[in-house]
């Protein structure tokens, strides 16, 4: 049987209990002494008076009634007050000290090898995940015409089989292309051969979530550093919960954005549709008048990629060709604040919503989109596939519409003024090995796993296929491989903390290829950067999902360049998390059982610290005087006995005035032992005659009379 009280914490409950106990302790002592005095006969033995006096003087009654003498010697007065202060301090400690208690973290015990079992994901994402048994890896090589894939023979040109040597190399560690599969897939046939095709779509969008969490086959990070880690989750069979760490393959989106210093400005008219604005202006905020006169360049230094150069190049070329659309306008013809009228037919984007735009976004630009796009991404389908040709994706983005006339953005009105910024972004995918630490409670709920990740500090060997094939003909396999392959001529290798994924066919055509889950990261970027309606149903624009719009606005509020990068990274992470699962699993783990702990706020321990400061020297000094023989136990016993009120009343106490004569030197002891005194003289009856009225004049005490003894006290 138990009771439940709401509105208080455990430390507060402990404090309340201590207050109640202290109140009981002191009030009960006062009450019992009061009852004792009420029932105390006027005549008692000396022994009884000694016991009664001890009870009265050790209670709070002398303090409450202020009966203690005020002219005692300094030593006695000091220790008397110190005892009182100490008693009050101990009472305060009992009340205040528990308030500092709080639940501490779960502390891991010693790490050891333990059995682990699979954790099922019952979320919508987990329920939508296809069974793994029918999945089949495969690959095609070539663009419009098929070519022989690396490691295969010419007679396998129409086959989807992967070379055994390639499988062996990129399966040598669990951190490669064969550690991932499509989350949802279906089996179809191509040239009468079974192939596995991905079902790309967002089952459960996570762009509104924050932090890092687990899902079926993945760790998903939606913090300021988004990304996904590949792991088929297992957890120790522990009722108390456990902590363990694992090294996993991690893919992170990396994006840099540049402000074009151009804005789209418009006024809502009477017949407005906020998502279909017929007429608007492109306003120069410095993007035209201050456009650089130098041709932007992109450095190609292996894996040392500079995404800012890519984004800046894309922004410069985009603005340059936009100026050509305005009748070859020059920089001198523009100025900051100049507005260029446009309409829905002269621009290839939708005004009024956050949208993806082509770098050549004006319809009367003669240069093709692919030409400007290449100036930003830095590669084309005819370039050789290599580690230096990193899969970069570029695009132009119109930010969420912001009201510029001071009105409430949540209430569009006629003649209200709005503006959208334009940013060019460049993105790539970075693979790394991360050390992920898991903490589980006593449940087996995947959603309640606490996850912390950090990059591995040790450089590892990364590899991709070394061929002379072009990007348009090959989706190269990549991943971490064993050190023995470092000098393999069929591989391009680099020892590093991370690998930027190389460009392949998927980065040109923008579609996931059958049997190759490793093409999903590139296809996800194509969806993020494609100015099409492929993802309209997901509403990443916030057009019909105000929560998403508010999320994007909050990211853009502090730093628009960083905010736009965060938006692209989160959308990419959402698409990849809904499209891939990891296969790496561990039936045994090096784990530590979690033990509960208690935390304490030291501020609430200050009264206890003061009491401890008084207690330590007092106890140390008293122990020393006892051990050194400076104070004998017999002396303590004599003081107690000879200050008893019974002895004092009979004159059998060793307490005398300073001038009183003591016993003769060789005479018998005047004072019997305590046990002997209690058996003999201590039984002497002493009567108490209550004083009715006491008056004090100077140093003289006058008694006006004595109370009449009650009849039941008469002998």
> What is the bridge-based pairing of β-strands 491-496 and 580-582?
unpaired
pLDDT for the residue numbered 572 = 96
Mean pLDDT of 203-212: 93
Q: Is 384 helix (H, G, I), strand (E, B) or coil?
A: strand
Choose between 595 and 698: higher pLDDT. Answer: 595
pLDDT for the residue numbered 508 = 93
pLDDT for the residue numbered 532 = 53
Confidence of residue 661 (pLDDT cuts 50, 70, 90): low
Element (H, E) at 351: none
Lowest mean pLDDT among 51-55, 271-275, 478-482: 271-275
pLDDT for the residue numbered 672 = 65
| pLDDT > 90? residue 492 | yes
Confidence of residue 46 (pLDDT cuts 50, 70, 90): confident
DSSP string over 12-63: HHHHHHHHHHHHHHHHHHHHHHHHHHHH--SEEEHHHHHHHHHHHHTSSHHH
pLDDT for the residue numbered 76 = 76
**Residue 363 to residue 327: CA distance in whole angstroms:** 13
Q: Which residues contact 552 (CB under 8 A, 6 or more apart)?
A: 354, 399, 400, 542, 563, 567
- As a whole-number percent, the residues of the chain with pLDDT over 90 amount to 44
pLDDT for the residue numbered 171 = 95
pLDDT for the residue numbered 133 = 87
What is the end-to-end Cα distance of the chain in Å, rounded? 57
**Residue 331 to residue 626: CA distance in whole angstroms:** 98
Q: Identify the DSSP state of 399.
A: P
pLDDT for the residue numbered 596 = 83
* 134-143 pLDDT per residue, tens: 899 999 898 7
Look-up of token digits 């760790």:
219
| pLDDT > 60? residue 694 | no
Confidence of residue 189 (pLDDT cuts 50, 70, 90): confident
pLDDT for the residue numbered 633 = 83
Lowest mean pLDDT among 183-192, 309-318, 485-494, 601-610: 183-192
* Helix orientation angle between 74-96 and 10-39, rounded to the nearest 10 degrees: 130
Q: What is the pTM of this model?
A: 0.77
* 391-436 pLDDT per residue, tens: 999 999 999 989 999 988 888 888 899 999 999 999 999 999 999 9
Lowest mean pLDDT among 169-173, 189-193, 528-532, 686-690: 686-690
Look-up of token digits 């060709």:
321
* 668-688 pLDDT per residue, tens: 445 666 677 667 766 677 666
**Residue 320 to residue 309: CA distance in whole angstroms:** 16
Q: Which residues contact 558 (CB under 8 A, 6 or more apart)?
A: none
Look-up of token digits 């932007």:
296
Cβ contact 182:198 at 8 Å? yes
Q: Which residues contact 498 (CB under 8 A, 6 or more apart)?
A: 430, 431, 432, 455
* 612-647 pLDDT per residue, tens: 998 899 899 989 988 988 888 888 887 777 777 776
Cα torsion through 186, 190, 192, 193, rounded to 10: -60
Biggest CA–CA distance in the chain, Å, is: 135
Q: How far is CA 322 from CA 157, 282, 369, in A?
A: 45, 10, 12
Q: Identify the DSSP state of 379.
A: -
| pLDDT > 90? residue 262 | yes
Residue 445: Cβ-neighbour burial (10 angstroms; 0-12, 13-18, 19+): middle
**Residue 373 to residue 534: CA distance in whole angstroms:** 20
| pLDDT > 60? residue 537 | no
Lowest mean pLDDT among 331-345, 391-405, 548-562, 669-683: 669-683
Tokens at 426, concatenated: 């460049």
Q: Which residues contact 4 (CB under 8 A, 6 or more apart)?
A: none
Residue 24 neighbours by CB distance under 10 Å: 10
pLDDT for the residue numbered 91 = 85
**Residue 349 to residue 264: CA distance in whole angstroms:** 11
Residue 460: strand pairing partners: 496
**Residue 482 to residue 480: CA distance in whole angstroms:** 7
């Amino acid at each position: 049987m138990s009771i439940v009280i709401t509105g208080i914490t455990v430390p507060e409950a402990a404090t309340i209990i201590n207050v109640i106990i202290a109140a009981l302790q002191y009030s009960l002592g006062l009450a019992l002494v009061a009852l004792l005095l009420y029932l105390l006969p006027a005549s008692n033995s000396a022994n009884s008076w000694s016991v009664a006096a001890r009870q009265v003087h050790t209670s709070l009654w002398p303090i409450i009634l202020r009966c203690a003498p005020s002219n005692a010697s300094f030593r006695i007065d000091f220790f008397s007050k110190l005892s009182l202060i100490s008693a009050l301090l101990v009472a305060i400690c009992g009340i205040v000290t528990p308030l500092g208690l709080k639940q501490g973290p779960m502390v891991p015990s010693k790490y050891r090898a333990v059995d682990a079992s699979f954790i099922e994901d019952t979320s919508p994402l987990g329920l939508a995940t296809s069974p793994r048994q029918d999945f089949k890896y495969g690959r095609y090589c070539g663009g419009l015409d098929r070519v022989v894939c690396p490691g295969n023979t010419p007679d396998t040109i129409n086959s989807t089989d992967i070379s055994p040597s390639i499988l062996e190399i990129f399966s040598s560690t669990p951190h490669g292309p064969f550690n991932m599969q499509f989350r949802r897939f279906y089996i179809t046939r191509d040239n009468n051969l079974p192939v596995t095709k991905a079902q790309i779509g967002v089952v459960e969008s996570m762009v509104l979530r924050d932090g890092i969490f687990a899902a079926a086959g993945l760790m998903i990070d939606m913090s300021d550093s988004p990304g996904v880690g590949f792991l088929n989750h297992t957890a120790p069979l522990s009722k108390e919960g456990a902590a363990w760490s694992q090294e996993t393959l991690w893919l992170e989106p990396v994006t840099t954005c540049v402000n074009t210093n151009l804005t789209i400005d418009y006024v809502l008219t009477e017949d407005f549709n906020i998502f279909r604005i017929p007429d608007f202006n492109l306003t120069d905020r410095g993007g035209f008048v201050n456009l650089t006169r130098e041709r932007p360049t992109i450095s190609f230094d292996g894996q040392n990629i500079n995404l800012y150069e890519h984004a800046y190049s894309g922004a410069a070329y985009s603005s340059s060709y936009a100026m050509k659309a305005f009748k070859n306008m020059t920089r001198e013809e523009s100025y900051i604040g100049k507005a260029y009228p446009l309409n829905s037919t002269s621009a290839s984007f939708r005004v009024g919503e956050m949208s993806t735009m082509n770098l050549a976004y004006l319809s009367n630009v003669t240069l093709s989109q692919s030409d400007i796009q290449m100036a930003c991404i830095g590669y084309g389908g005819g370039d050789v596939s290599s580690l230096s040709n990193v899969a970069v994706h570029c695009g132009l983005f119109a930010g969420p519409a912001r009201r510029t006339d001071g009105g409430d953005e949540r209430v569009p009105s006629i003649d209200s003024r709005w503006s959208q910024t334009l940013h060019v972004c460049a993105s790539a995918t970075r693979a790394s090995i991360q050390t992920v630490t898991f903490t589980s409670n006593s449940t087996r709920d995947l959603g309640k796993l606490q996850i912390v990740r950090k990059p591995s500090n040790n450089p590892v060997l990364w590899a991709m296929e070394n061929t002379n094939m072009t990007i348009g003909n090959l989706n190269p396999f990549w991943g971490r491989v064993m050190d023995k392959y470092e000098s393999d001529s069929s591989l391009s290798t680099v020892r590093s903390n991370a690998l930027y994924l190389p460009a392949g066919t998927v980065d040109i055509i923008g579609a996931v290829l059958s049997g190759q889950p490793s093409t999903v990261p590139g296809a996800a970027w194509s969806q993020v950067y494609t100015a099409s309606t492929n993802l309209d149903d997901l509403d990443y624009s916030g057009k019909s999902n105000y929560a998403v719009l508010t999320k994007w606005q909050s990211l853009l509020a502090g730093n628009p360049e960083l905010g736009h990068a965060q938006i692209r990274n989160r959308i990419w992470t959402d698409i990849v998390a809904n499209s891939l699962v990891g296969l790496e699993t561990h039936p045994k783990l090096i784990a530590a059982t979690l033990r509960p702990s208690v935390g304490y706020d030291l501020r609430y321990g200050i009264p206890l610290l003061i009491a401890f400061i008084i207690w330590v020297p007092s106890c140390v000094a008293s122990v020393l005087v006892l051990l050194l023989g400076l104070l004998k136990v017999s002396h303590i016993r004599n003081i107690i006995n000879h200050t008893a009120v019974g002895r004092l009343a009979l004159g059998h106490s060793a307490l005398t005035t300073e001038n009183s004569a003591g016993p003769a030197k060789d005479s018998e002891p005047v004072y019997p032992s305590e046990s002997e005194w209690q058996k003999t003289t201590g039984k002497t009856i002493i009567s108490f005659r209550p004083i009715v009225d006491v008056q004090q004049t100077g140093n003289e005490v006058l008694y006006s009379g004595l109370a009449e003894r009650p009849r039941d006290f008469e002998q």
